[in-house]
Amino acid sequence: METREDLYMLQATLNNLALLKIAYDSGLDMQNFTHYVVSYDFSFDPIWGNFSIAIQELAEEYEYYPPDSEEVEQEKKYWIDLAGASNTYLDSVSVLVILDDRIEPFELWSIGGYSMGTWYSGFGEIYPIDRGMVLIIDEEEGPIDYTNALSLIVERLNLEKGRV
């Protein structure tokens, strides 16, 4: 009988494969993506790495500020304030900034998550800024759906299928 954790690993692996499909459809070189299977037995989930590789290759400029890092607190605060999300608690969130002239104005997007628990999951929001976007990620209760996030980002980059 499968445990909840086994089912979650399967779901996360399938989600990662879907993320790789989006990267492939966007024309990215798939040789840059070397991992796709999730294994909690070995504490290995490659989806963040694959998401990050895809964003680095798709966007003109990309910057990541991790949670719980005092060294980047001022930078995180700058981007959070610029996005108009100044009520965000700085310590627990990651901030991903994407700057690209192809990004046109859009409305705020929320990104759901999934978790092994019954009630909690991570969440994220993508805020528009001038010629860019700010993704605020709170994964304290679980991961966000990076496949959905990549799909929304690709859509905003106005990419034709198979073209970066």
Greatest CA separation for the chain: 51
Q: Could you tell me the two tokens for 135? A: 């993704």
pLDDT tens track for 31-90: 999 887 877 666 667 888 899 999 999 999 999 999 888 889 999 999 999 999 988 777
Reference 46, options 74, 75, 19; nearest CA is 19
**DSSP string over 53-109:** HHHHHHSSEEEEE-SS-GGGHHHHHHHHHHHT-TTS-STTEEEEEEE-TTPPP---E
Host H or E run for residue 62: strand 61-65
Looking at residue 1, what is its pLDDT? 57
pLDDT(142) > 80: no
